[in-house]
Amino acid sequence: MKSIRKIASMAVLGAATFAYAGTALAQTELDFWSWRQEDVKAYNEIIAAFEEQNPDIKVTFTAHEATSYNTILTTALAGGAGPDIMHTRSYGSLEAIAAPGYLEPLDGQIDLSALSADELLGTTLRADGHVYAVPFASQTIVVFYNKDLFEEHDVALPETWDEFLAASQKFKDAGVIPLANGLADAWTMEIMSGAFLPNFYGKDFFGEVTSGATDFEDERFVNALEKFSTLKEFMPQGYEGVDYATMKQLFNVGQAAMFVGGSFDIPTFVNAGVNFDIMPGPAAEAGGPRMVATWLDGGYGVNAASENKEAALKFIQFTATQPFAQMLTDKLANVPAVDGAEISDPMLAKVSAMHEEATPYIMLVAFRFNTPTGSTLLQNGLQELFTGKKSAEEVAADISEGIKSAE
């Protein structure tokens, strides 16, 4: 009898142990979509830290091609599918998926106290005032420069527009491409314009054009376009066909002295081993401000149709914390939106310091809510300007008319 009881007891214990093990191993699986293909390794490391504290949740990070990401994501969400959690873009791009009800409102469900009102503005739907994503980082437009080439050719770092043109001419005369940037990818022209236009149209223009006190045919904006267009003399031969990948390669291998891009490009050049540094765009004149254009890059949102909403919200709460912000800056060289992270990377600290003279990245922040977007109008206009198809006045008129007619 003892033997039978012992065997029965062991069987019960074994069943209980198996049941417990099954419970311990059960995981809620979350899909996380993004456009950040270059950040897969870092995000997997960040996710691993979350999973260590939350062993009942498994997060799979999938990075799609950046330019097609919005279409892929919107198509999936419209079909009632898509990921549980997702990288969202900000401002108008966020509204495109928040307004139809594809995103879960986060205010009241997530502690957003470590984020500023300005940052939350980029992930807030104007129609209802709710926050639909946790902001993740700001981006800043800077001028990257090759320190070795500047030293080799004895070129002083330019502070003013005239000095920038003189430095570019000196490189060109020496057979070095002054600016790696090209026209093929229209969005990179908008990025490039963010380093130069603000210092010509000035600090007050953004507020005036967004309030309706002026428009893009304003003399300040036309003048800024005219000045900017002169840089085509210092871009690569055949610049009309130079795309983003080629620009970066020209800078990586030392064929180009400068590259205008976003702070998001820093890891690319670090990983390539380029001896580079960064500076803001040049002042319009001596003693003038050297403003940098900044914007909220995007956020982390939850699919309103997710069957795993509780676990998804738990991950999103993690993205609104200081430990997450610290990993974001340490692993991805971003200036995090969440307060409390210490920026130890000297290059990133420089970017953060430049924010003392910051201005909004104008079209993304204020004019990407309707169709045609301000970005589309500016990008198309800059391509026409730099290829000589239209004058600065014509481009400015097209932008102004397009924005006024946008729906």
Over residues 152-192, the pLDDT tens digits come to: 999 999 999 999 999 999 999 999 999 999 999 999 999 99
| Residues 281 and 400 both lie in one domain | yes
pLDDT of residue 117: 86
Residue whose token pair is 């057979």: 175
Asked if residue 21 is part of any domain, the answer here is no
| Residues 187 and 313 both lie in one domain | no
Residues 6+ apart with CB under 8 A from 276: 144, 145, 146, 147, 251, 269
Asked if residue 12 is part of any domain, the answer here is no
pLDDT at 7 over 60: no
pLDDT of residue 397: 98
| Residues 213 and 303 both lie in one domain | no
| Residues 193 and 279 both lie in one domain | yes
pTM across the whole model? 0.81
Asked if residue 9 is part of any domain, the answer here is no
Q: Among 325, 351, 377, which residue terminates a domain?
A: 351
| Pairwise CA distance, residues 294 & 21, whole Å | 50
How many structural domains does the chain have?
A: 2
Provide φ and ψ at 262, rounded to 5°.
-100, 160
CATH number at residue 52: 3.40.190.10
Asked if residue 20 is part of any domain, the answer here is no
Q: Among 314, 332, 351, which residue terminates a domain?
A: 351
pLDDT digits (tens, 9 = 90+) for 339-384: 999 998 899 999 999 999 999 999 999 999 999 999 999 999 999 9
Residues 239, 243, 245: CA angle, nearest 5 degrees: 130
Residue pair 280/195 in contact (Cβ under 8 Å)? The answer is yes
pLDDT digits (tens, 9 = 90+) for 136-149: 999 999 999 999 99
| Residues 206 and 343 both lie in one domain | no
Asked if residue 30 is part of any domain, the answer here is yes
| Residues 155 and 208 both lie in one domain | yes
| Residues 92 and 206 both lie in one domain | no
Q: Look up the domain containing 203 and give its range.
A: 140-294+356-405
Burial 187-203 (b: 16+ CB within 10 A, else e): ebbbbbbbbbbbbbbbe
| Residues 112 and 251 both lie in one domain | no
| Residues 146 and 132 both lie in one domain | no
Residues 66, 185, 83: CA angle, nearest 5 degrees: 10
| Residues 174 and 51 both lie in one domain | no
Q: Among 318, 334, 351, which residue terminates a domain?
A: 351
